[in-house]
Structure 1
Amino acid sequence: MGFRLSVKGKENIDLGSEMIQSVHVDVCTPTDSMAKSSNVNATIFISGKLISNTMIKQDETLKLFNWSLVPAQNAEAYRDVTIKVIAADNVFRIVHFPNTFVIDYSERYNDHIGVGEFSLVLRQKADKIPDITADGGQKLDG
């Protein structure tokens, strides 16, 4: 199984399966809801390996780090994010969050896996929840 993260904005970010180890997509409502709530949030949790920039052309995780520092007042804080889950050369799932911001970004440095590990938590802007799409069952293209 593999994953691809594509972030579109002023500066594009692309991470592949060589870096991403896990993805968790969560759409949730408050646990005390007695009916379908309009108070919904959609969150993506991503974790992976930090790889030395001598091993890759561009340091995509540095771009993630810098995106996490963009202030909320800046329109560039919100970006278009697509996650692809790939299994057996097929795209099992494509999840698209068109207005996403960084909730949390962290890096842990060690000498066990490359340079270390990163984790990223993204959330769709609350008034744009209906714009989220999910699809799947496609052949992997190049």
Structure 2
Amino acid sequence: MGFRLNIKGADEISLGMDNILEASYKSDTPDDSDARATDLGVIIKVKGKIITPVNGETEDDTRKLAKWSLVSAEKADAYRDLTLDVISGDIVVRSIHLPHAFIVDYTEDYTDKNGVGTFFAVFKQKKEKTEDVTLEGGYSSEN
């Protein structure tokens, strides 16, 4: 199983199978509701490895994620176009597209035991744009 995360905005951010260790999707409604709530949130969580820039690169894409997490809510760039692909073999099992995503939380942990460290990011779709979220899958990852 592998993952691809592509984010389009002021910077293009691409994290792939060499970076991402885990990913999850959640459709979230209030737990205290007795009927289908209109308050629906869409959440994606991603955990991965920080990879050191090589070959003269100025930064890796995890650094771009960290910088995006600092963008003020008042700026248009706080919201970006995010696609997470979950891949098994050569098949995209799930492709989740959040066209108005923002970062809720971003954390980096560093260690001297295994590589540089890890990152953990939580993304949400802008609430009034939930209907724009798409979930697809069942096609070749070569597309």
Q: Which runs of 4+ in 1 moved over 4 A?
A: 55-58
What's the CA shift for 1:56? 8.7
Please give the TM-score of this superposition, normalised by the length of structure 2. Answer: 0.95
Cα distance per residue 1:14-64 (max 9 Å; x no partner): 000100000011111001111110111111110001111137945000100
Cα distance between partner residues in 2 of 1:68 and 1:125: 15
**Contact 1:49-1:113 within 8 A present in 2 as well:** no
- For residue 138 of structure 1, what is the aligned residue in structure 2? 139
Count matched residues.
142
Cα distance per residue 1:84-126 (max 9 Å; x no partner): 0000111111000000001111100002321000000101000
Give SS of 2:6's match: strand
Give SS of 2:23's match: strand
What's the CA shift for 1:10? 1.4
- For residue 93 of structure 1, what is the aligned residue in structure 2? 94
Give the gaps of 5 or more residues in structure 2: none
Cα distance between partner residues in 2 of 1:69 and 1:55: 27
Cα distance between partner residues in 2 of 1:19 and 1:96: 19
- For residue 42 of structure 1, what is the aligned residue in structure 2? 42
- For residue 5 of structure 2, what is the aligned residue in structure 1? 5
- Counterparts of 1:1-142 in structure 2 under 5 Å? 1-54=1-54, 57=57, 58-141=59-142
What's the CA shift for 1:140? 1.4
**For residue 49 of structure 1, what is the amino acid of its counterpart?**
K
Please give the TM-score of this superposition, normalised by the length of structure 1. Answer: 0.96
**For residue 116 of structure 1, what is the amino acid of its counterpart?**
G
Give SS of 1:62's match: helix
Same amino acid, percent of matched pairs = 42
Give the gaps of 5 or more residues in structure 1: none
